[in-house]
Structures are given as structure tokens and as C-alpha cells.
Chains A and B, each alone.
Chain A
Amino acid sequence: MARDMSDKEILKMELDQLQKEVKTERMPVSVTAKELSDWVEGQVGEDPLVKGIPEDKNPYKEKGGCIIS
């Protein structure tokens, strides 16, 4: 448990972790960012918080009453 560890032990834990992470395989942002945004664009048409929902399908729509537009 972190609270029970001495500063030294925490640093050692950090060191071991850093040594592993330096070797992680990485891809360039130009590739990953493009794929991220392509993925979003493919889904955004189905995103109700972006495109909105028709009133008749909206479970939260106010019931009854007249709306004067």
C-alpha cells in the first residue's frame, strides 16, 4: 500500500516502472490521431448527443401540453 511505503520504496517502484516504459512501442501521432478522428467521424452520425433525437423517440420529452412556437 502506497501509504505504508517509504519514500525510497516508492522511488524504486517508480524507477522499475520507468525502465519498462522507456521500451514501450509507440506510433507517431500523425497516424494515431488520424485513426482516432476517422473512428469518431464514422460514429458521429449515430451519436444522439451530437445529432439530437426526434421528439417521438425521446424518452425524456415533456409529456402533454401545447407548445407555441
Chain B
Amino acid sequence: MLRGSSAVAIDNERNKHPSDVIAAASAARARRSGRVGLATASRSTSDPHPAEMATHELHPNDTLTTLKMESENLKAKLEEERAKLHDVELHQVAEKIEALGQFVMKTRRTLKGHGNKVLCMDWCKDKRRIVSSSQDGKVIVWDAFTTNKEHAVTMPCTWVMACAYAPSGCAVACGGLDNKCSVYPLSLDKNENLAAKKKSVAMHTNYLSACSFTNSDMQILTSSGDGTCALWDVESGQLLQSFHGHGADVLCLDLAPSETGNTFVSGGCDKKANVWDMRSGQCIQSFETHESDINSVRYYPSGDAFASGSDDATCRLYDLRADREVAIYSKESIIFGASSVDFSLSGRLLFGGYNDYTINVWDVLKGNRVSILFGHENRVSTLRVSPDGTAFCSGSWDHTLRVSEEEGI
């Protein structure tokens, strides 16, 4: 009987889309299943297939409640579809692989010079230069081999939360509380005032949280506290594409390895990690399994997966082709947020910088921790593996950056 009446209600839905009918259909399904959100109990041949449901137009009578119910139903359906293909765990597949021994990581260089918390860093493609930015408003370019400072710029704002090296090695981009992303060409003349050549590229309506050049010096991708990401042309400062979909501040982004096409992933305070098509501006996939802000996202070297680090004290791996989370890297003893993650060259190791001042190194396939690095005297805020994979650099609220390696075999 109930099924019959819901079939009628749903039929009306197809023809009229009055919001109260949709609400009634959802409520009927909810009553049958015993709780809101479980779609299986309501499966019948007359249930609307998602493909047949038209995009939901905002109707004046739509209440938050009806929208929320529909959202919960769809989320449940999405989880169901994903669960059907969850036939094995990653670590089970990895059982036959030889285990890694315990590693000892050793700090080889300490870069001192910032007057306050280091917030962000990036490697140059030449594998030896590093750009870093700090709460004190300074952006410094270092030679990691010698620890010499090669350039320094003072930004007009404090909290420079984002910085990036241009692929050519000839410029750096940075920004933060000024809501902008600016590009500074690096001069060979050490005496030249870099600030004079500064070019303002991106303008957001809230703080800049992350920035990255695409495969050339000509375009920059940014993420912001205003909830959006955007792609900009460096030369003209023109907005090429904007990306809407996060429901709160976007904290991080990473571009897919160039061989795998034009996508990038972003993470935010809405606990979501979104994968975007750079050309269309569309969000292709979305993952919401973290329990708190996502501070860092990084693509797996093959481009088929990405890792995330969150305030919920876990790092996770998401498989893009299976469209689901496939691993969680956590320990009961780790209770502070992970601020920054990066993979080793092969993707076998995941490095995570945490707010408890440590760096934990995880076996990506088997899921266990293989090393822990102490040394920073405050939160680790940023971490990147060098382009050739020989070392990794971590930046901290203790004002320093450290370049570390695996202590010889």
C-alpha cells in the first residue's frame, strides 16, 4: 500500500516537481526504512533514477528541511554505490609486498632566518632552492645545500600563508591576509629591490590559503578563505576560471601530475576534498570522510589517488578510480592535527607534519607507521618532498625549516 502511494507521489514528482510532493515522497521512504537517509528500503521500480531527476530549482516553498532531506538521501545513495565496489582493503592487496623496515630520518640542514612562524614552503625544480613564507610577512628564497639566503621580500601584510616557486625557477608567488596572490620575478642582482617588480595577480574576498603555478609560469591556481578556488593568467591578472562548491574556507590545493590531465584537488573547512576539472570549472568528485578541516591534499605520483591531512589527526588515501577512501593513517597516540602531507617519489611513503611538532612517515600500502622524526620545537606547518625525492623539507612555527633524509642504509 505504502509503496503504491509513494509511486503515485513520485509520478507527480516527475510531472510537477512541487516541493511538498518531494518532501512527502522522502518522508514516506523515511518512515518505511525507519530512519531518514536509508535509500535501500525504498527501492522500487518506480523510484526516480537519479538521471531522471531534474536539477532542483530553488522553489520559494523549499525549506532547509526538505533540501537537507534530499541531500541526506542522495548521500546515502552515493555511499551505497561506492560500497558496492569496496570488495577489498588496500592493505589486504598489499599483504604480499615485502614490509619496509623501520626507517631513521635525520635532519641535514636547518634554515634559520624567519622572525616568526613559517607557514608555507615550496621547492624549486632545480631540487636545491626553496621558497618559504612566514607570519612576519617575509618571503625568503634559500639554497638548501648551503643554507644561504638568496633573496628576501617583505610583503605588505603579515601571515603570508601561501608561497610557490614558478616552474622556470625565475619567480615566486605568495599571498595571505592581503587576499591577493602576487608574483615576484627573481633577479640575479641581489641588490635589486624585488618588491618594485611585484605583480598582483589574484584577488579574493578573503585570505589566500594556497597557490600553485600550473605547468608554466603563465597561470596560477589559488584557494581562499572565501570558499573558492580560481585560475588566473599571470600576465594580465585576468580570472580564467573559478571553482565553486566548497561550503566553507578552502585551505589547500594540489595539481594533478601533468601526464594525467587537467585536474586538481582542494580541501576545506567543510571537511570535503573536491576534485575539479580545470577547463570546465566543474567538480568531478567529492569526498567527505574526514571529521574536521582538511589542511593539506597531495596527489599520488601516478595521479590515480590523493592523500589528505586533517585536524581530525588522520591522513587518508582516496582512490579516484574506485571513487572512495581506501586507507586511513592514524594511531591512538596521535591526537593532534596533520597540517601537511607529501609522498615520496614512488608513492610508497607518506610524510605527514603534525601539530604535535612531529613528522610521521607512513607505509602507504600497508598502513603502518615506519618512522617518526622529532626536532621541531613547535607545530610543523608545511612539508614537501624535493622534486628528485632525495630529501624532504619541513617548516614550523618554531621559525625554522629543516631538510631531512633517510639516514644511510
Contact = CB atoms under 8 A, between A and B. Distances in A.
Instruction: Report whether chain A binds chain B.
Output: yes
Interface of A: 1-5, 7-24, 26-37, 39-41, 43-53, 55, 58-62
B14 interface: no
15 contacts: A1-B205, A8-B58, A13-B244, A13-B245, A15-B70, A19-B50, A36-B302, A36-B304, A36-B347, A40-B347, A44-B346, A48-B389, A49-B405, A58-B405, A59-B145
Given A2-B226, A46-B346, A36 B300 contact: yes
B301 A43 contact: yes
B394 to A, nearest CB: 13
Contacts of B390: 48-49, 53, 58-60
> Chain A contact residues: over half helix, strand or loop, or mixed?
helix
A17 B245 contact: yes
A51 B67 contact: no
B197 interface: no
Interface stretch (B1-9, B319-327, B374-382): B319-327
> Chain B contact residues: over half helix, strand or loop, or mixed?
loop
Interface in B229-281: 244-249, 270
Nearest to A16: B55
A30 B322 CA distance: 9
Contacts of B285: 21, 24
Most buried by B among A18, A26, A33, A43: A33
B392 interface: yes
A28 B206 CA distance: 40
B172 to A, nearest CB: 22
B319 A29 contact: yes
Contact of B244 (A2, A8, A23, A62): A2
Given A15-B71, A18-B75, A50-B346, A36 B145 contact: no
Interface in B298-353: 300-302, 304-305, 319, 321-324, 326, 344-349
A9 B67 CA distance: 10
A6 to B, nearest CB: 9
Nearest to A35: B304
Most buried by A among B71, B388, B392: B71
B346 A22 contact: no
B152 interface: no
A33 B304 CA distance: 10
A22 B271 CA distance: 19
Given A13-B244, A52-B408, 6 more contacts: A1-B226, A19-B74, A26-B321, A28-B88, A32-B319, A40-B365
Contact of B321 (A16, A32, A46, A55): A32
A14 B69 CA distance: 12
B86 A29 contact: yes
A27 B322 contact: yes
B140 interface: no
